[in-house]
C-alpha cells in the first residue's frame, strides 16, 4: 500500500469500523450503505479525493446477501492516489443513499445503475432510466437477465430463421 494512503485508510477503518482488501496495490474498503455519504464527504473534503472516477456495481448472483457491490472509485489529483470503496447491498430491493450532493457525476452514474442493475439511490433528484428505452422490463446487467442471443442465419438454416425473424412492411 502506498505510504500516503495508509493513514487515510486507517482513519476510515477506525471511524466506520470498515474492513479492507488489497490486491495488486489497489485498496478496496468495505462500508455499509448508511455510512457511504459520510465517508465520501470526509474523503472529499479532508483528504482531497476530488474526482469520482467510476461508480458502478458488480452482481454476484446467485449469492443473495449481499448480492451487489456498489463500487466507488475515487481519485485524488493533488496526492495522486486512488481508493476504491465497495458497498455490499442485498438482492431484494437494493438501496443506497445518493451521492449526487457530493459529486455531480454521481447523478448520471446512479441513473445508469438504476437502469442496469435496479439499484435504487435514495434521494436521487431524477430517477429515470438513462440508457434503455422507457418501459423496458428488467435490468440488463443483472446476471439473471438473458443475453438475448439470436440464432445467426447461415445458408443451411436461412429459410428456417427467416420465418421467425420480424420483417418490416414496405
Partner 1 sequence: MGVEQKLGDMGVVTTTLENVVNWSRTNAMWPMLFGLACCAIEMMAAQASNYDMSRFGMELMRASPRQSDLMIVAGRVSKKMGPVLRRLYDQMPEPKWVIAMGDCASCGGVFNNYAIFQGVDEVVPVDVYVAGCPPRPEALIHGVLTLYEKVNKEKFKDLAEKYK
Partner 2 sequence: MTQIEEVSIEQFKHLVSARALTGETMLLNMGPQHPSTHGVLRLLLELDGEIIVNCIPDIGYLHTGIEKNMEAKTYQKAEVMTDRLDYMNPMGNNLAYVMAVEKLVDLDVPVRAQGLRVILVELQRIASHLVWLGSVGLDLAAMSMFLYCFRERELILDIFELVSGQRMMTTYFRPGGVWRDVPVEFEKAVRDFLKIFPARIDEYEKLLTKNPLFLDRMLGLGILDSATALSYGVTGPTLRASGVNWDLRKARPYSGYEQYDFNVPVLTEGDTYARYLVHIQEFRESLKIIEQALNKLPFGPVHSENRKFVPPPRSEIGVSMESLIHHFKLWTEGFPAPKASVYSAVESPRGELGLLLEGDGGPKPLRVHLRTPSFDNLSVLSHIVNGHLVADLVAILASIDIVLGDIDR
Q: How far is CA 53 from CA 75, 91, 133, in A?
A: 6, 25, 26
Contact 19, 30 (CB under 8 A): yes
Residues lying near partner 2 in the complex (CB under 8 A) are found at 23-24, 26, 28, 50-54, 56, 58-60, 71, 73, 77, 80, 82, 84, 103-105, 107-109, 125-126, 128-135, 140-141, 145, 147-148, 166, 168
Output 6 or 21, the one with its CB closest to partner 2: 21
Exposure string over 126-143, b if 16+ CB within 10 A, otherwise e: eeeebeeeeeeeebebbe
Of the candidates 25, 62, 78, 168, which one interacts with partner 1 according to CB under 8 A? 168
* Chosen from partner 2, partner 1, none, partner binding at 165 (C-beta under 5 to 8 Å by type): partner 1
Helix (H, G, I), strand (E, B) or coil at 65: coil
Show the cell assigned to 43.
474523503
Binding site for partner 1 (CB under 8 A): 131-133, 136, 140, 145-150, 152-153, 165-168, 170
Amino acid at each position: 500500500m502506498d505510504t500516503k494512503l495508509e493513514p487515510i485508510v486507517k482513519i476510515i477503518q477506525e471511524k466506520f469500523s470498515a474492513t479492507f482488501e488489497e490486491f495488486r496495490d489497489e485498496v478496496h474498503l468495505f462500508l455499509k450503505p448508511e455510512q457511504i455519504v459520510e465517508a465520501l464527504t470526509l474523503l472529499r473534503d479532508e483528504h482531497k479525493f476530488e474526482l469520482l472516477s467510476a461508480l458502478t456495481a458488480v452482481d454476484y448472483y446467485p449469492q443473495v446477501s449481499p448480492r451487489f457491490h456498489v463500487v466507488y472509485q475515487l481519485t485524488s489529483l493533488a496526492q495522486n492516489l486512488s481508493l476504491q470503496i465497495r458497498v455490499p447491498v442485498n438482492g431484494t430491493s437494493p438501496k443506497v443513499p445518493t451521492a449526487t450532493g457530493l459529486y455531480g457525476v454521481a447523478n448520471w452514474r446512479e441513473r445508469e445503475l438504476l437502469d442496469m442493475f435496479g439499484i435504487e439511490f435514495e434521494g436521487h433528484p431524477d430517477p429515470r432510466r438513462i440508457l434503455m428505452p422507457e418501459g423496458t422490463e428488467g435490468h440488463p446487467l443483472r446476471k439473471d437477465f438473458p443475453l438475448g442471443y439470436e440464432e445467426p442465419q447461415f445458408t443451411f438454416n436461412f429459410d428456417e430463421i427467416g420465418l421467425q425473424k420480424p420483417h418490416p412492411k414496405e
